[in-house]
Structure 1
Amino acid sequence: MAISASDKVLKLKEAGLNQDNETPATSIFTEDEVEVLDLIFKQYLKGESQSPSLRNPFTSKSIAWAYWIIARLGGFNGAVKKTRHAVSVKKIGLGLERFIFMYDGYRSLN
């Protein structure tokens, strides 16, 4: 099922607010997109090598995990509060746009 970019932005923002570790990222991204998100997380964002306060605190390959990666691509600093939290729609949108460029580049090489 294809999902529009605006729907993805809203679902990602909701995942950030609810810190949703239960819903898999494949609920809004394809398997290939999740694979590229994982590559971006490990290579571009340096995975778990950052200081503890800047690590992705969410369960791997959950929708909240994807939210954190997309938000980082959009300019979010990475620090997640324990209370309800979500970055702006603008940053999520910018991060999603950057992700789409990276994903398209990955697809063209493979």
Structure 2
Amino acid sequence: GWFEGQGWKDKWPLHHAAMRGDVARIKQLCSQGHDPNVKMTDWFDSEPLGWSASFGQLAATVALIQCGADPLRPANKAGNTPLTDAQRERHQTTISFLEEYQRRAAGSSR
């Protein structure tokens, strides 16, 4: 399917780097002005964080957040957030990190 095709990797480089856990590429793309919250319009408006979380790529998840990606944004069209993506695939380290992030975010907004 289209998943193996080269086209989507060129069209959505940040999602691809997130899926592969390529932290150096993520930082490079962000420094070139790529939006870390960009929505993949041909895949449920999924965001790079959802991809890094789905594949249990904790370092990529952290790198994306450092670039300005926001794990607390509303769910995508499939009804998923980075946390529910990580939970579905049972990536415990990523789940723990995102849960802790949510707790801290909730604490700082009080």
Q: TM-score, normalised by structure 1?
A: 0.29
Greater Rg by CA: 2
Q: Larger RCO: Structure 1 or Structure 2 (Cα < 8 Å, ≥ 6 residues apart)?
A: 1
